Amino acid sequence: MTKTALITGVTGQDGAYLSKFLLDKGYEVHGLLRRSASADVIDSRLKWLGVNDKVQFHDGNLTDLSGLIRVLQDVKPDEIYNLAAQSFVKSSWQQPLLTGGVTGMGAANMLEATRIAAPEARFYQASSSEMYGLIQEPVQSETTPFYPRSPYAAAKLYAHWMTVNYRESFGLHASSGILFNHESPLRGIEFVTRKITDGVARIKLGLAEDISLGNLDATRDWGHARDYVQAMWLMLQQDIADDYVIATGRTTSVRDFCKLAFAHVGLNMEDYVTVNERFLRPAEVDVLLGDASKAKQKLGWAAETTLEMLVSEMVEADLKRLSRHEHL
Ligand code: NAP
Ligand code: F7E
């Protein structure tokens, strides 16, 4: 029997890759779409993957509980993936209440809507390695204590514990994926990896002279979004809902990511990268490094894409996009 999935955040990076993954598996895929004045470009990521006309859209917003209930009543999903969020950490200091409302309370709204209108559905919450923040252990696993360092991380932590609470209180099949940073050619341009690969491609094509960045010493455990959406799905295929860390187990500095990206086009980063205080954060997450052994053991999941493969795919995609005057 065909399974039905509802994805919030369907127009984002992960929403696009997850839609493609589920459609390839034969799912009927529905997406929550928040109204935008730029309706012509809102599905550009889904278009890039060639699935925009295969997803069925429903108007809705994570802040609007009654609308969410109505969508769930209409769609009757077997699986719900709550990926929508104000997801840019830097912006969360400028918009702490909006971030709390969407990223935190929005998840509570989705859990409430599920409890009321689709209690048998399996629920996935997009938790984040940002919750570890000021890290309490050198390698972070499901048992590492959290220490959020931004309004975004605090909002995600609330959403995370609400997911655990709805599982324990109401018996919802609700799982939380604590995903470490994952990137792709569909990453938003404001995030550091895409900012770098787009900048490298512009410099290579003579469209820009340099890239201005913030903290080059921060390190992240970077994987590929395409690999990570498989883990989301695997979590919902388990008999018992649970929480899982999803990571590669390798951490790399922003500086070394830059080096790899410039080397891909035969240039030296030292000649092109400047540091601007504007891109520093009020509180930084210096290091993240995940231990995904529980996911490996219980889900049979492991990251497949190396950092070198990821960097080269992203730089090549930006070179292609800029050569064709395409935008994303
Ligand atoms: P993304 O590209 O920023 O996508 C966010 C999505 O949320 C977009 O579809 C956006 O819609 C939607 N959205 C924002 N506010 C909304 C609202 N009020 N109502 C309904 N939809 C709303 O994020 P991503 O990288 O795909 O990440 C997916 C999820 O995983 C997010 O929750 C993120 O916080 C979390 N996460 C990401 C990473 C990572 O490294 N990528 C790691 C851990 C966790 P518009 O297109 O209309 O803006
Ligand atoms: O920053 C440093 C910055 O904005 C990474 C989101 O998907 O992953 C993401 O959050 C690092 C930070 O991602 C610039 O200070 C230096 O240390 O790419 P980012 P993030 O904050 O790690 C987590 C897991 C999520 O859940 C989030 O939703 O790079 N950095 N210079 C810079 N960062 C940016 N954006 N721009 C710079 O110029």
State whether 121 and 269 are in the same domain: no
Q: Is residue 38 part of a domain?
A: yes
- From the CB of 302, is ligand 2 less than 6 Å away? no
State whether 207 and 140 are in the same domain: no
Identify the nearest ligand to the CA of 195 by its number.
Answer: 2
Which of 8, 83, 92, 95 for mutating ligand 1's site (highest number of atoms within 8 Å of CB)?
A: 83
Å from CA of 191 to ligand 2 middle: 5
Q: What is the pTM of this model?
A: 0.98
CATH code of the domain in which 275 resides:
3.90.25.10
State whether 232 and 216 are in the same domain: no
Number of domains the chain is built from: 2
State whether 213 and 226 are in the same domain: no
Q: Whose CA is nearest to atom 6 of ligand 1?
A: 9
CATH code of the domain in which 229 resides:
3.40.50.720
Q: Whose CA is nearest to atom 29 of ligand 1?
A: 83
Q: Is residue 269 part of a domain?
A: yes
Q: Give the up-direction half-sphere exposure of residue 259: CA atoms within 13 A in the CB hemisphere.
A: 7
State whether 170 and 261 are in the same domain: no
State whether 215 and 140 are in the same domain: no
Exposed e or buried b per residue across 167-185, where buried means at least 16 C-beta atoms within 10 angstroms of its C-beta: beeeebbbbbbbbbbbbbb
State whether 43 and 143 are in the same domain: yes
Å from CA of 218 to ligand 1 middle: 22
Task: Give dist(CA 48, CA 229) in Å, integer.
Answer: 17
State whether 315 and 232 are in the same domain: no
Range of the domain at 93: 4-182+222-246
State whether 216 and 234 are in the same domain: no
- From the CB of 155, is ligand 2 less than 6 Å away? no
How high is the pLDDT of residue 38?
86
Mean pLDDT, each 10-residue run in order, the chain (328 residues): 97 98 98 91 94 98 98 98 98 98 98 98 99 98 98 99 98 98 98 98 98 98 98 98 98 98 98 98 98 98 98 98 86
Q: Is residue 298 part of a domain?
A: no
